[in-house]
Structure 1
Amino acid sequence: MILPGTLLRELVAIPSVSSMSNRPVAEWIQRIFEPLGWHHRLFRYEDSAGVEKLNLVVSPQPMDDGRIDAELAIVCHTDTVPFSAEWVEATELHEKDGMLHGCGACDVKGFLACMLAAASEIKTEELKKRLCLVFTSDEEVGCRGARYLLSCDALRARYAIVGEPTSLVPARAGKGYCLASIKVMGRAAHSAFPEAGRSAIFAAARLLQEIEGLAQVLMQDRNDAFLPPWTTLNVGEVRGGTAKNVVPAECSFLLEWRPVPTQRPEVVLERLREIIDRMETEQGLDGIEIQVEVLRMDEGFETGVDSAVIRSVMRGSDSEIQTIAFGTEAPWLARMGAEAVVVGPGSMLTAHSPRECVPIAELDACVTMLRRAIAEICC
């Protein structure tokens, strides 16, 4: 048996920030599977900066050049968020008080190590249905690797286990993630003569008040599986103005919303455009132009509690199933046909920070969980 902690040490030592190519990680994974006789396929693309990215699919069963149809796909991304120069030990795994510390230890190389450890114990001759392990790129910058697999119809799966740090508490549903850039344009003037201009910031402030009101309206459409049980809105950035004595010609902000899976993610966008139309009619926005650019429109996912993949990861566990509000690749697997669950060792509370760590005990428990799920679904 290969210990997940041993694999994790090697994985953490390979920097795989999203701005870099993930080829070193993909090739390292391939070397693990070569002596096991597993088959692999690579799905290559270049990101907007021209950097090579790879999605790797491995299976104990041969795969032809067409679409891969799997009974179970176990999915894990290979990239991490950037780490600061002050975190000098980011790529050196070290143990303290039963925890393994390092960049990516819980998000999500810990789960990746568990996948490999579980795969090393599989008796492939016992598999009656196709198992695929899927290693994606660019999850941290918009799930671009999973999007690419969907766009080229590379994979279909009946069930999917998506690795993310949930402290091994399975999540059967997750909110979506949507983002829009809103630009309000007016006309600049000297602030001593404001009537000669049109303040983009004043107009943006009125629009922001309307958006705050929309957030209250959205609370009426509840999905009590979540906390909070409705689609949430947030304006996290506002930029505008050039100087204290200039009527501002431009103001822009980012609007983020996380829709519950029972609500179309387009609802907020439709309500926003209705608000803008009403402002133009009722308040008069002569000299003001409002532009809305959608940057992301990712729906949520929801899997029934009686799904076989839910039962397989819950068996032997005394934890209750949960829902999550952070983004994952599960919605993209759902669009590939899968009933999906999100689960993995470690806590998101330590991810994306120098505090990142994963409990050794959870790594071992995760390997057991994955072995059981593979046996129940594929054997």
Structure 2
Amino acid sequence: MAALPSLINMMSQLIASPSISSSQSNWDQSNKDVIELLEGWLSSQGFQCEVMPIPGYPNKVNLIATLGKGDGGLVLSGHTDTVPYDQGRWQSDPFLLEERDNRLYGLGSCDMKGFFAIVIDTVRQMDLKNLKQPLIVLATADEETSMAGARALVSQNKIKARYALIGEPTSLTPVHAHKGILMERIRVTGQSGHSSNPDLGNSAMDAMHSVMTELMAFRDNLKKKYRDASFVIDYPTMNFGCIHGGDSANRICGRCEIDFDLRALPGMSNQSLVDEISRLLPSIESKTGTKIEMDSLFTNIPSFFTPIESDIIKTCEKLTKNTATSVGFATEGPFFNQLGIETLILGPGSIDQAHQPNEFMALNQIKPMQQVLRGLIERYCLQNNQSNHPENEEQRV
């Protein structure tokens, strides 16, 4: 097989290929250069590579690289995009990998281009000529914004596998659950007028006060009704993030908007929550004589959950010696749930460094992650039995 660059060199090339995804067009970029690098490296190791266009996103693609055949096996998945960066707040060029203080600095070093370099370097060290089940390396687009890459996999039913690891930065701790998230905007339209006479207008801000009162009561009811002790914040949260209304102290406010997010626990339906909130609004609209509308700020992300007793969770607990936990941030995990794949989130680096200036991956995370990857590949791709139980496989793990 063709020679590959070193792990550090691969990571350096990936970081040097900008692939920012953003809802702001001046930041948003294609991920095709990153996909081209991964396709070349994985093809050189015998993987069959499919570059998958994303409908509606002409400059974004997924990569599905498969070694071996079968309907079982293991997916090692990550996203190829990064968030924007804070100009002037980095100590080094965000697109130039720099090693200092036993850390690798660069945009995407832990979230999550570094994961791909670790995966490919691990694969090249293993004898995978006699796979019993396929090994799939999946690279997705736009995770940081629309999750269009993962959504396209679901809509096209592209991935067929038994197990999946998503290598988001978790400090090598297995994650089996996270909350969902939806973001909504409520807009109240009244009638502006001269403030000297309230009868000349209809205050949208007054009506928004009633809207917020209902939303806060709704939030309190959610907190009383739903609890999950596996989360640090063990109830659904609703945050009123920003509010805008009116334009002058001497004018009746004709329009007011509030943006909020709601993070639901596993088992709760985002759509049901939106429907419940929507049903609160018509009575306020009627009572205040205003027009009230609600719109989604982005397509919501479902919660993620894989049972703690699942084989891949138990296996990774043994491989990492860390107990599985839940987290507050969202991932592509729920879309793998929809594909029927037993999935966990586990990767090198810390979420505390993600989305921050001077993002880094600690060097001491790399070898332990490679050990996890080897254990999973051996278990799910090199062994015959796809329903192993780790308690009976102590020596193999």
Q: Fold match, TM over 0.5? A: yes
C-alpha displacement of 1:122:
3.2
Check if 1:34 corresponds to 2:46.
no
1:344 to 340, 344, 347: 347
List alignment gaps of at least 5 residues for structure 1: 63-67
What's 2:126 paired with? 122
Please name the residue that 1:246 is paired with: 251
Query: Deviation digits for residues 5-56 of structure 1, max 9, x if unmatched?
Result: 33212211111111111110001011112321211111113656xx411100
Offset, 1:205: 2.1
> What corresponds to 1:141 in structure 2?
145
For the Cα contact (< 8 Å) 2:43–2:49, is it kept in 1?
no
Are 1:309 and 2:312 counterparts?
yes
The Cα shift of 1:357 comes to: 0.8
Rounded to whole Å, the distance in 1 between the matches of 2:258 and 2:101 is: 43
- Please give the alpha-carbon distance, in whole angstroms, between the structure 2 residues aligned to 1:280 and 1:354: 44
Q: Which residue of 2 aligns with 1:333?
A: 336
Give the superposition deviation at 1:361.
1.0
Whether 2:269 is the aligned partner of 1:264: answer yes
Tell me the residue number matched to 2:110.
106
Shift in Å at residue 340 of structure 1? 1.0
SS at match of 1:173: strand
Structure 2 residue aligned with 1:4: 7
C-alpha separation in 2, matches of 1:272 and 1:235: 14
Equivalent residue for 2:52?
A: 43
Instruction: Please say which of residues 226-235 and 259-268 is displaced more in the overlay.
Output: 259-268
Distance, in Å, in 2 between the alignment partners of 1:198 and 1:99 is 58
Higher strand fraction (1 or 2):
1
> Is the 8 Å Cα contact of residues 4 and 364 (structure 1) preserved in structure 2?
no
Q: 1:58 aligns to what? A: 65
Q: SS in structure 1 opposite 2:196?
A: coil
* Aligned-residue offset at 1:69: 4.3
Distance between the aligned counterparts of 2:159 and 2:234, measured in 1? 32
C-alpha separation in 2, matches of 1:116 and 1:256: 37
Cα RMSD for the two superposed structures: 1.9
Match of 1:150 among 146, 151, 154: 154
Structure 2 stretches lacking a partner, 5+ long: 22-27, 383-397
Q: After superposition, what is the alpha-carbon deviation per residue over 1:255-310, rounded to whole angstroms, capped at 9, x for unaligned?
A: 211110122223422331232244346xx121x01111133232212111221211
Report what 1:78 is aligned to. 80
- Listed one character per residue, the Cα deviations across residues 141-196 of structure 1 (whole Å, up to 9, x for unaligned) are 02111011111222233211112111111101111111112111111111222221
1:361 and 2:364 matched: yes
Change (3 A) 1:42 1:70: farther
The more displaced of 149-158 and 173-182 is 149-158
Q: Compare 238-247 and 68-77 and name the one that shifted more.
A: 68-77
Find the counterpart in structure 1 of residue 374 from structure 2: 371
Q: Tell me which amino acid in the other structure corresponds to 2:280.
A: I
SS in 1 for 2:87: coil
Letter in 2 for 1:34: S
Q: Which runs of 4+ in 1 moved over 4 A?
A: none
Amino acid at match of 2:306: T
Q: What is the rounded CA distance, in whole Å, between the counterparts of 2:126 and 2:245 in structure 1?
A: 58
Q: Report if aligned partners of 2:94, 2:358 keep a CA contact under 8 Å in 1.
A: no
Partner in structure 1 of residue 242 of structure 2:
237
Q: Is the 8 A contact 2:17 2:34 kept in 1?
A: yes
Q: Which residue is equivalent to 1:65?
A: none
* Structure 1 CA distance for aligned equivalents of residues 67 and 161 of structure 2: 16
**Distance in 1 separating the partners of 2:341 and 2:313:** 12
